[in-house]
Amino acid sequence: SDVVKKMKKIKTGLILVTGKVNSGKSTTMNAFIQEVNNEVSRKIVTLEDPIEYEHESKKSIVIQKEIGEESDVISYYNGLINLLREDVDIAVLGEIRDRKTMDVAIDLAESGGLVIGTLHTRSCGETVERIINMYDPADQNAIKNSVSSVLKMVISQKLILSTKGNLMMVPEIMVVNNVIAAQIRQEKFSVSELEDAIQSNIDKGSISLINSIAQLFVEDKITLQQAKAQIEEKNIEILNRTIMQMKIKRGQIQN
């Protein structure tokens, strides 16, 4: 998928895959592991609760550790601490639940590894906000600086029922470039300003939710009603404009 293609371009740093429960996060992570495993030689360690999909090592070495009292590691945090001592190319974590896990994930990413983790947040903007809010106000400037330099990409997923009745993944992808990094570091962080930055950095590889939704509509995969239901009221105008531009591009309407 396009999402996995984008993920594979990133060699070090932090990638977050986010979305509500059952929004296909583990499907995306497993597709990524599978492609890397088939194509290049890396040491990949996963921390999962529970292990849903077993990967056998092909070109890469894949080590899967289960979290839990009776399992391989007691917590995500302990599993990550152990990874700091090992030589891991890619660490994949089921979930980043708290500040101390986030701290180690950032350390691991700063030391040259690629860390992929998930959060139960609904959008790229909300994901950054959640991370900042894991920290006390006194530590928030420092964490904004760390995150703006180590975070490479956030993928936020929703699943929508298509007009044919099958579930489709709708991605919002934030590729962190200088513009977006500056937004994250702002004194007063604003989710809506970050969303505007994603919308205006589409040519740099980001994909806004509005664009993903518009695309599905012009491809007749969802109804206009469904499209509008996914977007905040204040963005309906941008959605309409985006749909028009896409239709003109596809030759569905004459300019």
The tens place of each residue's pLDDT in the chain, 255 residues long, gives 789 999 999 999 999 999 988 888 989 999 999 999 999 999 999 999 989 899 999 999 999 999 998 889 999 999 999 998 888 999 999 889 899 999 999 999 999 999 999 999 999 999 999 999 999 999 999 999 999 999 999 999 999 999 999 999 899 999 999 999 999 999 999 999 999 999 888 888 899 999 999 999 999 999 999 999 999 898 999 999 999 999 999 888 776
What pLDDT is recorded for position 23?
A: 85
What pLDDT is recorded for position 130?
A: 96
**Strand 151-161 with 167-175, pairing:** antiparallel
What pLDDT is recorded for position 201?
A: 86
Structure tokens at 248: 């003109």
The separation between CA 224 and the C-alpha centre of its own chain, rounded to angstroms, equals: 26
**Strand 114-119 with 13-18, pairing:** parallel
Q: Using an 8 Å Cβ cutoff, are 225 and 216 in contact?
A: no
Angstrom distance (rounded) from CA 139 to CA 131: 12
What pLDDT is recorded for position 5?
A: 95
Q: Which residues contact 126 (CB under 8 A, 6 or more apart)?
A: 156, 191
Angstrom distance (rounded) from CA 218 to CA 161: 15
What pLDDT is recorded for position 84?
A: 86
pTM: 0.93
Amino acid of residue 133: N
What pLDDT is recorded for position 237?
A: 94
Beta-bridge partner residues of 119: 18
